[in-house]
Amino acid sequence: MHDEKVILQVNDLKKYFSLRTGFFSETRYIRAVDGVSFELYKGETLGIIGESGCGKSTLGRSLVNLYNITSGSVLYNDGDQKINLINANDREKKNYTKSVQIIFQDPFSSLNPRINVFETVAEPLIIHRYPKEEIEQKVSEVIAQVGLRDEHLRRYPHSFSGGQRQRIGIARSLIISPKVIICDEAVSALDVSVQAQIINLLKELQARYHYSYIFISHDMSVIRHICDRIAVMYAGRIVEFGTKEEVLNSPKHPYTEALLDAVPKISNRKSKGKRKILSGEPPDLSRERIGCNMFERCGYRIDACQATPMKLSDVGSHHLTACMRTKEIQLNGLSIEAKQP
């Protein structure tokens, strides 16, 4: 369970990458993240889902200051300190990075093969100049928390399985006691059975230490098992936002419906009609547009969709959608039980 205290507030965040096609040509910009806003509550897991290239990983890396944000604001407030990442000074940025950490996607490439597990996990503490005795104690504690043993500390990454490597990556993120953890496709490179182990580990750690997670994934079947609320991203923007039950049971955007239709299922589908398969390609993110960014691929489109400014609207109980036709069309969802407290 999570409380209603907002620990991270993201307002109109944009991250653009410059793109030059020639020496004398005008610089264009890829709008990788284009006006994303949301709140993360203390102790909750917020899922961000979308296909490859939708901007979800760029968003995650921007939130941990690996990318310089083009515009917008990221407000961190844990009760003891308030930090706006956009205009933070060096000391505030250092405190922010201690509080907001990331777990990367690939456990095989995210670990330095030249340093052992102890050095890998201890690195954040060394950067923040912790005493040697405290470093050794903290490393031993966090290694135990993720299900590894002290005897693993002197070994190198190549001697571990994918699941064990991801546990090492999790330990590295936890070592400086963050409050917010960005899980960027943290289980997508793992076998299904190992995925379940890592997800269960993350749940156990959250229950024990009240971490807030932003769980980024392209896999709805993973998102549905760990998240409290879900934000659906498409072409750099959030197109639907709500509780897990609302988004999965009663989607309000055609893109969400298409994602749900791709989830393997046996008999829990509400409708047995024709599958909603998106044709065509995602839009050109270097071209500014007014209307719906899914216009060319949407089977429910009308001419007004292309001309009406795209914005999130509340359809009830803080369930948000960017589809202007949400009251006119009936979309199919999954049948899932509400999450028990």
* Assigned token pair, 44: 């909750």
pLDDT on residue 12: 97
Name the H helices within the chain: 56-63, 90-99, 117-127, 132-145, 162-174, 192-209, 220-226, 244-249, 254-261, 303-307
pTM above 0.95, yes or no: no
Q: What are phi and psi of 36, to 5 degrees?
A: -95, 135
pLDDT on residue 272: 53
* Assigned token pair, 234: 């498409």
pLDDT on residue 338: 47
DSSP per-residue string spanning 113-148: TTS-HHHHHHHHHHHTT--HHHHHHHHHHHHHHTT-
Give the gyration radius of the chain's Cα atoms.
21
Note down pLDDT in tens along the chain; length 341 residues.
Answer: 566 799 999 999 999 999 876 666 778 899 999 999 999 999 999 999 999 999 999 999 999 999 999 999 999 999 889 999 999 999 999 999 999 999 998 877 889 999 999 999 999 999 889 999 999 999 999 999 999 999 999 999 999 999 999 999 999 999 999 999 999 999 887 888 889 999 999 999 999 999 999 999 999 889 999 999 999 999 999 999 999 999 999 999 999 999 998 877 655 455 555 566 677 788 889 888 889 999 989 999 999 999 998 899 999 888 999 999 999 999 988 865 544 43
pLDDT on residue 106: 81
Tell me the domain boundaries of the chain: 6-227, 255-341
Q: Are 8 and 74 in contact (CB under 8 A)?
A: yes
pLDDT on residue 8: 98
3-class SS of residue 28:
strand
Tell me the fold of 6-227. Rossmann fold (3.40.50)
Which residues 6+ apart lie within 8 Å of 328 measured at CB?
none
pLDDT on residue 340: 41
Task: Report the candidate in 258, 257, 262 with the shortest Cα–Cα distance to residue 222.
Answer: 262
C-alpha span between 260 and 275 (Å, rounded): 10
